[in-house]
Amino acid sequence: MSAIDSVLAEAVAKGDPPAAQCCVTIDGAVVHESAHGCALDAVFDVASVTKILATTSALALLIERGEVELDDPVGRFLPARFDATLRALLGHRSGLPAWKPFFASVMADPATAAVFTTADVDESVRDAARAKVVAEVLATPLEHPGRRVYSDLGFIALGAVVEAVTTQRLDRFCADALFAGRDLGFVALDAPSPFEGRAILPTGWTRPREPAPGQEGLFPIPPQPRVPDAGRVDDDNAFAMGGVAGHAGVFGTARSLARFAHDHWVEDAFGATKRAFLAIDPADGPPRALGFDVPTEGSSAGALARGSRVFGHLGFTGCSLWMDLDRRLVAVLLTNRTFPGRAGVAGIRALRPAFHDAVAGL
């Protein structure tokens, strides 16, 4: 058994996480691929890895086409209370807070509450709920413009910018322009799943989900049966938006993510725009690039962090994607660590660096 498989098998045997799938490519060729507790073609909710797969990549494509510029203000496209630039939003420097439970106002509004209580929801109700979340994001006061604060709100706004520019909903634009022919996509609640008939790993039970650590008491959770919820986005703000949002909502397999990252970011699919996005900003804490995290020594990227040009992102459900551009290596780890509960983080905190240490040894 390889070092990678030993790490994953041990974690899954303990049930933390229940399932794990990985894929490592070098120069586009698969050098390791395995699954534990699931099949190789099982599908995972990749949570915030959506930020690079969909929103960041969509904006890079639009910039390369000359349709938008990094220093365009949001107000050019949307009626926002703030006027942060796309660059500031991508770099998490807009001043928007990290997170707010916008879904709670969707649940509380009689005009949109059915999104959370009824399976067969009228399209107009879904549209109203989606518009409500976006409007509340755009009306959010900035707290500390220029200071780096990792923000889901910023990427909800960026997803709305993509939609305004392309006149397509984000899932449809990405399906046409980025994900075509790939085992990758949003699972919209108003459309057939692109993974119909496939195993999709559950990430929780209730809707809304139980609070993550630090969110206790911030929103109501109505009494409901505990039934494994698979095939619907884990993130409640994204759920309120019909499963399609700039910060979460993409599902896929480890291989599909690795191939996408190689084809679009290891290769030069975005031309000079790639260099602008991957310029490292070291100020105000750990370094970041536009849309991408940059790992540091001792981070969850383990030994991969030693590379000088390593970029990627984590996802709350226990997923990660890292690219070492010098080695032309992509490492993807997908898990459903939030099932059966969100509170336990020790397992994924141990698994991620151990997995990436093993990958670095390839």
Give the tens place of pLDDT for each residue, 146-172: 999 999 999 999 999 999 999 999 999
Least Cα distance to 201 among 226, 228, 230, 227 occurs for: 230
Quick check: is 183 in a domain?
Answer: yes
Count Cβ atoms below 10 Å from residue 168 Cβ, excluding itself: 15
Quick check: is 247 in a domain?
Answer: yes
Whole-number percent of the chain with pLDDT over 70: 100
What CATH number did the domain enclosing 112 receive? 3.40.710.10
Quick check: is 150 in a domain?
Answer: yes
CA 61 to CA 50: how far, in whole Å?
15
Quick check: is 44 in a domain?
Answer: yes
Quote the number of domains for the chain.
1
Is residue 104 scored above 90 in pLDDT?
yes
Question: What is residue 283's predicted lDDT score, i.e. its pLDDT?
Answer: 84
Residue 236 · residue 221 · CB < 8 Å: no
The label of the residue with tokens 């509960």 reads 341
* pLDDT digit string, tens, across residues 206-246: 899 999 888 999 998 888 888 899 999 999 999 999 999 99
* pLDDT digit string, tens, across residues 235-287: 999 999 999 999 999 999 999 999 999 999 999 899 999 999 999 998 887 89
Quick check: is 222 in a domain?
Answer: no
CA torsion, ordered 124, 125, 128, 134, to nearest 10 deg: -120
The domain in which residue 31 lies consists of 3-217+228-360
Structure confidence at residue 316 as a pLDDT band (50, 70, 90): very high
Contacts of 135 (CB under 8 A, 6+ apart): none
Quick check: is 223 in a domain?
Answer: no
Question: What is residue 184's predicted lDDT score, i.e. its pLDDT?
Answer: 98
Residue 355 · residue 302 · CB < 8 Å: yes
DSSP 242: T
Least Cα distance to 205 among 234, 231, 233, 227 occurs for: 227
